[in-house]
Structure 1
Amino acid sequence: MHGLTIWTTAVFIIGDIAGGGVLALPRAVEDTGWIGFVLIVVFTLLSTYTAALIGKCWVIIQERYPEYQSHVPDPYPIMGEKTYGKTGRHLVTLTMNIYNFGSSVVYMVLAAGNIETLLNDVTKDISFCYWLMILTFILVPIICLGTPKDFWPIGVGATFSTAIACIFIVIQALKDNSHNKGTTVHSDVGIQKFSSAFGTMVFAVSGHSVFPTIITDMKKKEDFKIAAILGYGIVLMMYIPTAMSGYFVYGSNVDVNIIKSISAGPIAYVVEILVTLHLLLGFIIYMNPVCQQFEAKLGVPKEY
């Protein structure tokens, strides 16, 4: 049976959640103090638990309602309907699509801005707005690829681009640390900064709106719990070293985007390319649940 395995599911989970949030974590830890590292671990554990519950809910629905044994384009709204009726279905559909579409728009805007910066010396006449349209025309056909099992390389690319970017950030931070000579200072923790950092950390482990779509493509849906533990475990291995490098090396000088804090050079350039790649691939992952529902309304076969 063709479908996602535990590993490919974990890859999609990582590609879904480990993106722009990782770049803001060093600043978030700086704004909360050392307790920020504890919060990252706690939020990761809580998100793993809630992700496992989503998987368990879908398994229960398939056991009780045989009509959902095959692939469905709207698993999350179905969960809402079986729990709270039509009102629950409409509420879940509205909030999920707003979140997914909104996140996709943000990803596209950030990617267009990054490409404009990266290619500014070569394509000076192509503005941000034009890049936004160019990327849209390129990616729109790709979001019609079907379901996650049909475009698993997208998940692999999103995961590895972020993982390599994190490694390069830590390497450059260690290089920069050799020039600091122990002069790192930290800012005071305030309520406003702590609250903002709190939200950043929660956002960095979010992405549950895509999980039901991934679950429906698994060979064994009951294994999603294992995939969630594996995926979030790897994400934590990316987050902690990156956050530590920003906190201990740059301190109060760390930027909201860690890329702007590391020294300019080849590594910083490569990191920005990798982050841009993740944003483009993340756009496809976030838009897929929205597109599946839209295509189902139009009667488009899922094989398309």
Structure 2
Amino acid sequence: MYTDQHVRMESIILQNNNNGLTVWTTSVFIVGNIAGGGVLALPKAVEDTGWIGFILIIVFGIFSTYTATLIGESWVIIQERYPKYRSHVPDPYPVIGEIAYGRKGRNLVNVVMNIYNYGSAVVYMVLAAGNIETLLEKVTEDISLCYWLIILAGVLAPLICLGTPKDFWPIGVGATFTTGIACILIIIQSLNDKDQHMPVSHSTTDPLKFSTSFGTMVFAVSGHSVLPTIINDMKKKEDFKKAAFLGYAIVLMMYMPTAIVGYMVYGENLNENIIKSVSAGPCAYTVDII
């Protein structure tokens, strides 16, 4: 006779994907999805909020990890109860909304996801175009930021035709490692710049600065709209909680040292993009490239 536990385990086995992502590769995708723009903007956000900014980054990271695990548990429950969702599902997050709150829930999730994804794309496209413009300004003086945006859109558009994260895992791995290298180089160059910025003075905060920085910090640990798709590609979806803890821990290990060094070295002279604050040289150029 089967018990509830047997039924649960059998359903989990059925939904697992033997060719899917492991805990490690899933955590790498989480890091690649979240880190990037946030690590460049956080030092300025901390400068505009003061020391409490470091506490907020950790708190937001903990909250994001917890909500990520809830999304993972929700998807596991849905695949246990609804066999039709055990195969490839192109839109798992809207499905979660529909199962929870009906058609209205699905529509709400779709609207919020599209707004977030569009806004995120704009942020990263402008950031990348700005970095390229800075890197090649002496070679391509006639190509402005606006043209670089168009060129980037043309280069990146084919990538959206790929199916799911497991189809382009090298990009996720590359994003994680290049972000890690960028953090290391930013810290090294910032420490080299320390003597040039002594003594360090800090700006005072105000409601506008604080609210703007608050949004930057939340954005730096966001990216939940992608998580259900990553979960759906895992070998063992019930292990997503481990991947979430590992992924967010790595993100915070990237964020905190970079934010601390930027805050301590440049102070009120920090640019919204810390790359613009470090001295020009091999480190800065390498960060621009990667």
- State TM-score, norm by structure 2: 0.90
Check 1:124–1:30 CA distance in 2 against 1; reply closer, same or farther (3 A cut). Answer: closer
User: Which residues of 2 match residues 91-110 of structure 1 at below 5 A?
Assistant: 91-110=108-127
Deviations 1:80-138, CA, capped at 9 Å, x for gaps: 00111000011111211221133223322332232233222223343434333332222
Amino acid in the other structure paired with 2:116 = Y
The alpha-carbon deviation at position 11 of structure 1 amounts to 0.8
In the alignment, the residues of structure 2 paired with residue 107 and residue 32 of structure 1 have an alpha-carbon distance, to the nearest angstrom, of 23
Corresponding residue of 1:79: 96
In the alignment, the residues of structure 1 paired with residue 102 and residue 280 of structure 2 have an alpha-carbon distance, to the nearest angstrom, of 54
1:219 to 231, 235, 238: 235
Q: In the alignment, does 2:48 pair up with 1:28?
A: no
The alpha-carbon deviation at position 145 of structure 1 amounts to 2.0
The alpha-carbon deviation at position 200 of structure 1 amounts to 1.1
In the alignment, the residues of structure 1 paired with residue 177 and residue 249 of structure 2 have an alpha-carbon distance, to the nearest angstrom, of 15
Check 1:130–1:258 CA distance in 2 against 1; reply closer, same or farther (3 A cut). Answer: closer
Check 1:152–1:201 CA distance in 2 against 1; reply closer, same or farther (3 A cut). Answer: same
2:288 to 257, 272, 275: 272
In the alignment, the residues of structure 2 paired with residue 110 and residue 27 of structure 1 have an alpha-carbon distance, to the nearest angstrom, of 15
In the alignment, the residues of structure 2 paired with residue 251 and residue 112 of structure 1 have an alpha-carbon distance, to the nearest angstrom, of 26
User: Which residues of 2 match residues 109-124 of structure 1 at below 5 A?
Assistant: 109-124=126-141
In the alignment, the residues of structure 1 paired with residue 272 and residue 189 of structure 2 have an alpha-carbon distance, to the nearest angstrom, of 17
* 5+ residue gaps, structure 1: 275-304
In the alignment, the residues of structure 1 paired with residue 248 and residue 263 of structure 2 have an alpha-carbon distance, to the nearest angstrom, of 22
The alpha-carbon deviation at position 41 of structure 1 amounts to 0.7
1:8 to 8, 25, 28: 25
In the alignment, the residues of structure 2 paired with residue 65 and residue 131 of structure 1 have an alpha-carbon distance, to the nearest angstrom, of 46
Deviations 1:163-185, CA, capped at 9 Å, x for gaps: 1111111001111113444x111
SS across alignment from 1:218? coil
Corresponding residue of 2:161: 144
1:171 to 169, 188, 200: 188
In the alignment, the residues of structure 2 paired with residue 158 and residue 102 of structure 1 have an alpha-carbon distance, to the nearest angstrom, of 19
1:17 to 31, 34, 40: 34
Corresponding residue of 1:209: 225
Check 1:250–1:126 CA distance in 2 against 1; reply closer, same or farther (3 A cut). Answer: closer
SS across alignment from 1:141? helix
In the alignment, the residues of structure 2 paired with residue 102 and residue 30 of structure 1 have an alpha-carbon distance, to the nearest angstrom, of 24
- State TM-score, norm by structure 1: 0.86
Corresponding residue of 1:284: none
Count of paired positions: 273
The alpha-carbon deviation at position 213 of structure 1 amounts to 0.8
* 5+ residue gaps, structure 2: 1-17
2:150 to 133, 149, 171: 133
The alpha-carbon deviation at position 203 of structure 1 amounts to 0.9
Check 1:30–1:3 CA distance in 2 against 1; reply closer, same or farther (3 A cut). Answer: same
The answer as to whether partners of 2:37 and 2:127 remain within 8 angstroms in 1 is no
Could you say which structure has the larger radius of gyration?
2
In the alignment, the residues of structure 1 paired with residue 138 and residue 197 of structure 2 have an alpha-carbon distance, to the nearest angstrom, of 31
SS across alignment from 1:173? helix
Amino acid in the other structure paired with 2:289 = I
Deviations 1:239-289, CA, capped at 9 Å, x for gaps: 010000111111111111111111121211111112xxxxxxxxxxxxxxx
In the alignment, the residues of structure 1 paired with residue 143 and residue 215 of structure 2 have an alpha-carbon distance, to the nearest angstrom, of 35
The alpha-carbon deviation at position 62 of structure 1 amounts to 0.5
In the alignment, the residues of structure 2 paired with residue 251 and residue 113 of structure 1 have an alpha-carbon distance, to the nearest angstrom, of 23
In the alignment, the residues of structure 1 paired with residue 108 and residue 33 of structure 2 have an alpha-carbon distance, to the nearest angstrom, of 22
In the alignment, the residues of structure 1 paired with residue 271 and residue 126 of structure 2 have an alpha-carbon distance, to the nearest angstrom, of 20
Structure 1 runs of 4+ aligned residues shifted over 6 Å read: none
Deviations 1:44-101, CA, capped at 9 Å, x for gaps: 0010000000000000000111110111001000000011100001111121122113
Q: In the alignment, does 2:274 pair up with 1:258?
A: yes
Corresponding residue of 1:190: 206
In the alignment, the residues of structure 2 paired with residue 30 and residue 251 of structure 1 have an alpha-carbon distance, to the nearest angstrom, of 6
Question: Identity over aligned residues, as a percent?
Answer: 71
In the alignment, the residues of structure 2 paired with residue 126 and residue 194 of structure 1 have an alpha-carbon distance, to the nearest angstrom, of 35
Amino acid in the other structure paired with 2:200 = T
